[in-house]
């Protein structure tokens, strides 16, 4: 078989054909084939976030999911090498949970506006201003910030962690950082007062109530699902809010005729093939950090075994504690 016929015979192509032109797929397939061989040779697995491009999601990823699933799977991983196809804080979290494994990030510049909005010194100052209150850090933070807090949380378990932390500390308030929108959206679901930081996701903060009104005016039957990093009024105007995995789950369970995922654009492309009866409509926004990761960079990372994530061992012990506390909440 020629390279082209091998590419079109690959079962992954059936899931990608509607997103990738044939000529591009043949070129991508070269990288995909090389990555699959390298994974075997290096005893590596690829964990990919739901916002990765469809050729990564369907072509080379061993496990896909939201931040919580990736953290859990990183902890269970048996392979010697983990490639984190996602942003830097996700790779750091995988390393925190696997200090003896090699964790590779294909582009270490893949940051996150939330993670960059707060430092360890900011957390210490916040704690000093509100003594006695438990501090919860969204997983979208650096290891240095996680080392200063009591619990980590993700968008999938924010409410549960807030309630658990307040209950354990015997307080009616908690500090939750750095996303002011996730904090506000979580506060609406609990009786607990949340003291927030002023960070925001540069992708989700751009959605407005007018976007939702426009999509509803265009498609009367559309179901609107929003990520809780969106502003409160956007979440309030939506039919459901949840983590990227919760949104994928909602579509799989309810099979709406039309859906708008108010989140990063690749989300819709990635779950479209599993939901052929659903039409995915805009708006969506791209995350420039997630989009730094490409097939070619994954191939290079596995070929050169770089860049490996490193974390100062003392800091890692403290940061791991907050992630493990989250994972231990029943």
C-alpha to C-alpha distances, 287 to 46, 70, 71, 112, 187, nearest whole angstrom = 20, 18, 20, 9, 26
Residues forming a β-bridge with 128: none
Residue 158 in contact with ligand SF4, rule: CB under 6 A: no
Exposure of 150 in the CB half-sphere (CA atoms within 13 A): 18
Beta carbon of residue 38, minimum distance to ligand 13P (angstroms, whole number):
26
Residue 247 in contact with ligand SF4, rule: CB under 6 A: no
| Angstrom distance (rounded) from CA 81 to CA 56 | 17
Tokens describing residue 87: 């942003």
Beta carbon of residue 153, minimum distance to ligand 13P (angstroms, whole number):
10
Residue ranges in 87-116 that form contacts with ligand 13P under rule CB under 6 A: none
* Cβ neighbours around 3 below 10 Å, total: 11
Residue 112 in contact with ligand SF4, rule: CB under 6 A: yes
50 binds, among ligand 13P, ligand SF4, none (CB under 5 to 8 A by kind): ligand 13P
Q: What backbone torsions phi and psi does residue 253 show, to the nearest 5 degrees?
A: -80, -40
Look at phi and psi of residue 308 and say left if phi exceeds 0, alpha if psi is from -120 to 50, else beta.
Answer: beta
Q: Which of 12, 29, 50, 56 touches ligand 13P (CB under 6 A)?
A: 50
| Angstrom distance (rounded) from CA 146 to CA 135 | 10
Strands 258-262, 240-241: pairing kind: unpaired
Helix (H, G, I), strand (E, B) or coil at 205: coil
Helix (H, G, I), strand (E, B) or coil at 175: strand
66 binds, among ligand 13P, ligand SF4, none (CB under 5 to 8 A by kind): ligand 13P
Beta carbon of residue 154, minimum distance to ligand 13P (angstroms, whole number):
5
Q: Which of 102, 117, 140, 266 touches ligand SF4 (CB under 6 A)?
A: 140
The nearer residue to ligand 13P, 141 or 155, going by C-beta atoms, is 155
289 binds, among ligand SF4, ligand 13P, none (CB under 5 to 8 A by kind): ligand SF4
Residue 113 in contact with ligand SF4, rule: CB under 6 A: yes
Residue 114 in contact with ligand SF4, rule: CB under 6 A: yes
The nearer residue to ligand SF4, 65 or 256, going by C-beta atoms, is 65
Q: Which of 113, 154, 270, 300 touches ligand 13P (CB under 6 A)?
A: 154
Beta carbon of residue 312, minimum distance to ligand SF4 (angstroms, whole number):
23
- Name which of 149, 163, 235, 164 is nearest 193 in CA terms: 163
Tokens 């500390």 locate to 169
Quote the Cα angle for 84-324-135, to 5°: 105
Q: Which of 44, 234, 290, 316 touches ligand SF4 (CB under 6 A)?
A: 290
The secondary element (H helix, E strand) that includes residue 214 is helix 209-218
The nearer residue to ligand 13P, 32 or 241, going by C-beta atoms, is 241
Instruction: Please work out the total of residues on this chain that contact ligand 13P, with binding judged by CB under 6 A.
Output: 11
| Angstrom distance (rounded) from CA 204 to CA 225 | 13
202 binds, among ligand SF4, ligand 13P, none (CB under 5 to 8 A by kind): ligand SF4
Could you list the residues that contact ligand SF4 (CB under 6 A)? 87, 112-114, 140, 201-203, 229, 264, 287, 289-290
Could you list the residues that contact ligand 13P (CB under 6 A)? 50, 66-67, 140, 154-155, 201, 227, 229, 243-244
């Amino acid at each position: 078989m020629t390279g082209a016929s091998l590419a079109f015979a690959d079962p992954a192509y059936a899931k990608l054909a509607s997103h990738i032109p044939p000529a591009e797929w043949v070129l991508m397939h070269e990288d995909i084939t090389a990555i699959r061989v390298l994974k075997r040779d290096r005893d590596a697995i690829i964990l990919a976030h739901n916002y990765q491009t469809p050729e990564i999601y369907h072509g080379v990823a061993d496990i896909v999911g939201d931040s919580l699933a990736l953290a859990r799977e990183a902890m269970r991983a048996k392979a010697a090498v983990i490639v984190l196809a996602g942003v830097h804080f996700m790779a750091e979290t995988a390393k925190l949970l696997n200090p003896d494994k090699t964790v590779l990030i294909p582009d270490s510049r893949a940051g996150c506006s939330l993670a960059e909005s707060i430092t360890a010194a900011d957390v210490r100052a916040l704690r000093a201003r509100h003594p006695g209150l438990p501090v919860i850090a969204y997983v979208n933070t650096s290891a240095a910030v996680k080392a200063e807090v009591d619990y980590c949380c993700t968008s999938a378990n924010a409410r549960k962690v807030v309630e658990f932390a307040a209950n354990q500390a015997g307080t009616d308030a908690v500090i939750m950082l750095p996303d002011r929108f996730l904090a506000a959206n979580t506060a609406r679901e609990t009786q607990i007062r949340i003291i927030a930081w002023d960070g925001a996701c540069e992708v989700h903060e751009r959605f407005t109530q007018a976007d939702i009104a426009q999509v509803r005016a265009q498609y009367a039957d559309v179901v609107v699902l929003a990520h809780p990093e969106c502003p409160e009024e956007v979440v309030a105007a939506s039919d459901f809010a949840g983590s990227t995995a919760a949104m994928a789950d909602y579509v799989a369970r309810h099979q709406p005729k039309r859906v708008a995922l108010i989140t990063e654009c690749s989300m819709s492309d990635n779950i479209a093939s599993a939901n052929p009866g659903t039409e995915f409509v805009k708006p969506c926004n791209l995350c420039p950090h997630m989009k730094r990761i490409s097939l070619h960079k994954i191939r290079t990372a596995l070929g050169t075994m770089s860049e490996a994530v490193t974390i100062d061992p003392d800091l890692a012990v403290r940061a791991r504690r907050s992630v493990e506390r989250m994972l231990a909440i029943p």
